[in-house]
């Protein structure tokens, strides 16, 4: 398969005003804009964190991005810092963008996320007087087609003002719509199942959040155990229609469960390592359990219909 090379300058198209000679687009300054939202599987441009990409070497890329100062979800409860989980979402977007824009994966293909890890430096996440401009360096390992499936392993370094703010990895597979339908059966049809009603969420402070709307956990029958119960109308977590709970919802559940094991405000996750094993269905209870491994590490698992859905290790900076 021929790899597409991202141009360093915009396409050149002629421009003309009445009474003026012809000029060309590449004579105009290159201005900042987001990458196409479809490439990162977002419906809203406000949720696109990537702004550009250049190839450095074979399977190595320099990307640019920006985190807004006052994101409605990816901001700390006190409003002073970017949310560490935003680093995970940014790694996810980098992977999707490279698959579609560089390696030729059709936009209609479905992505199976097998793992997502990130490690952030909390001192580099402080919000300044302007949006946080990012330089990202992505290394793509084993990005290749195997039959009608495309898969690979991604490593990303996220830099801000010349300093590393976070690093992350992701492993994934992209499959054609027909393959996805075979994998999912009737549950893969949006609207084919009846989602569970949302239960009252736990206190936002216990989940490390500011608003009840952002809490994805409800109380269960014992300490350290919760029911996954997000608001399916949440504009970030469910930014577009899904036939299952998205991977970032499970990451958020793990983060909130780790916070829930400690008194409010006592645990601020800085790193997470998550393995996704099964789809988390919308119509069946998914139980979230957390166990403290040490004062700085919590293991979180999700269980549904007798299956382990995901495992996550959540770490805080001492």
C-alpha to C-alpha distance for 126 and 108, rounded to whole angstroms = 37
C-beta separation of 246 from 252 below 8 A: no
C-alpha to C-alpha distance for 248 and 115, rounded to whole angstroms = 11
Comparison of pLDDT for 160 and 9, the residue scoring more: 160
C-alpha to C-alpha distance for 58 and 215, rounded to whole angstroms = 42
Mean pLDDT of all residues in 111-120: 97
C-beta separation of 75 from 83 below 8 A: yes
- How many of the other CB atoms lie within 10 Å of CB of 144? 12
C-alpha to C-alpha distance for 313 and 298, rounded to whole angstroms = 6
Is 90 exceeded by the pLDDT of residue 221? no
pLDDT tens per residue, range 138-193: 999 999 999 999 999 999 999 999 999 999 999 999 999 999 999 998 887 777 77
Average pLDDT, the chain: 90
| pLDDT range class, residue 10, cuts 50, 70, 90 | very low
Mean pLDDT of all residues in 228-255: 95
Residue 137, phi-psi category: left (phi > 0), alpha (psi -120 to 50), beta (remainder): beta
pLDDT at 15: 38
Is 60 exceeded by the pLDDT of residue 9? no
Q: Which tokens in the block code for residue 159?
A: 């830099």
pLDDT at 29: 64
C-beta separation of 37 from 48 below 8 A: yes
C-alpha to C-alpha distance for 239 and 271, rounded to whole angstroms = 24
Give the list of residues 6+ apart from residue 110 with CB closer than 8 angstroms, or none: 174, 175, 176, 177, 179, 180
C-alpha to C-alpha distance for 8 and 61, rounded to whole angstroms = 12
Query: DSSP of 92-113, one letter per residue?
Result: HHHHHHIIIIIS---TT-EEEE
pLDDT at 31: 77
C-alpha to C-alpha distance for 279 and 282, rounded to whole angstroms = 9
Is 90 exceeded by the pLDDT of residue 77? no
Comparison of pLDDT for 19 and 294, the residue scoring more: 294
pLDDT at 27: 54
Is 70 exceeded by the pLDDT of residue 6? no
Is 60 exceeded by the pLDDT of residue 230? yes
Is 60 exceeded by the pLDDT of residue 304? yes
pTM of the predicted model as reported, rounded to 2 decimal places:
0.89
Cα three-residue angle 113-117-120, rounded to 5 degrees: 145
Query: DSSP of 41-53, one letter per residue?
Result: T-S-GGG--EEEE
Q: Which tokens in the block code for residue 271?
A: 């790193």
pLDDT at 299: 98
C-beta separation of 205 from 215 below 8 A: no
């Amino acid at each position: 398969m021929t790899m597409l090379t991202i141009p360093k300058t915009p396409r050149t198209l002629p421009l003309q005003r009445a009474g003026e000679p012809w000029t060309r687009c590449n004579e105009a300054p290159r201005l900042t804009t987001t990458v196409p939202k479809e490439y990162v599987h977002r419906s809203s441009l406000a949720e696109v964190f990537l702004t550009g990409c250049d190839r450095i070497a074979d399977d190595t890329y320099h990307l640019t991005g920006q985190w807004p100062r006052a994101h409605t979800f990816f901001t700390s409860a006190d409003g002073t810092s970017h949310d560490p989980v935003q680093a995970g979402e940014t790694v996810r977007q980098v992977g999707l963008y490279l698959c579609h824009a560089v390696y030729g994966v059709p936009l209609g293909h479905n992505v199976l996320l097998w793992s997502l890890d990130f490690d952030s430096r909390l001192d580099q996440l402080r919000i300044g007087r302007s949006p946080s401009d990012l330089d990202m360096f992505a290394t793509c390992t084993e990005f290749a087609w195997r039959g009608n499936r495309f898969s690979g392993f991604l490593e990303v370094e996220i830099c801000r003002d010349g300093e590393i703010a976070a690093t992350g990895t992701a492993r994934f597979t992209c499959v054609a719509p027909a393959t996805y339908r075979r994998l999912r059966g009737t549950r893969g049809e949006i609207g084919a199942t009846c989602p569970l009603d949302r239960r009252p969420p736990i206190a936002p402070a216990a989940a490390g959040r500011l608003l009840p709307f952002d809490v994805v956990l409800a109380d269960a029958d014992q300490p350290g155990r919760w029911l996954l119960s997000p608001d399916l109308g949440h504009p970030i977590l469910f930014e577009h229609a899904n036939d299952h709970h998205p991977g970032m919802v499970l990451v958020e559940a793990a983060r909130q469960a780790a916070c829930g094991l400690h008194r409010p405000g006592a645990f601020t996750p800085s790193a997470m390592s998550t393995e996704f094993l099964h789809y988390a269905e919308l119509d069946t209870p998914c139980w979230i359990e957390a166990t403290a491994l040490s004062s700085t590490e919590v293991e979180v698992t999700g269980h549904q219909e007798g299956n382990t859905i995901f495992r996550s290790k959540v770490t805080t900076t001492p």
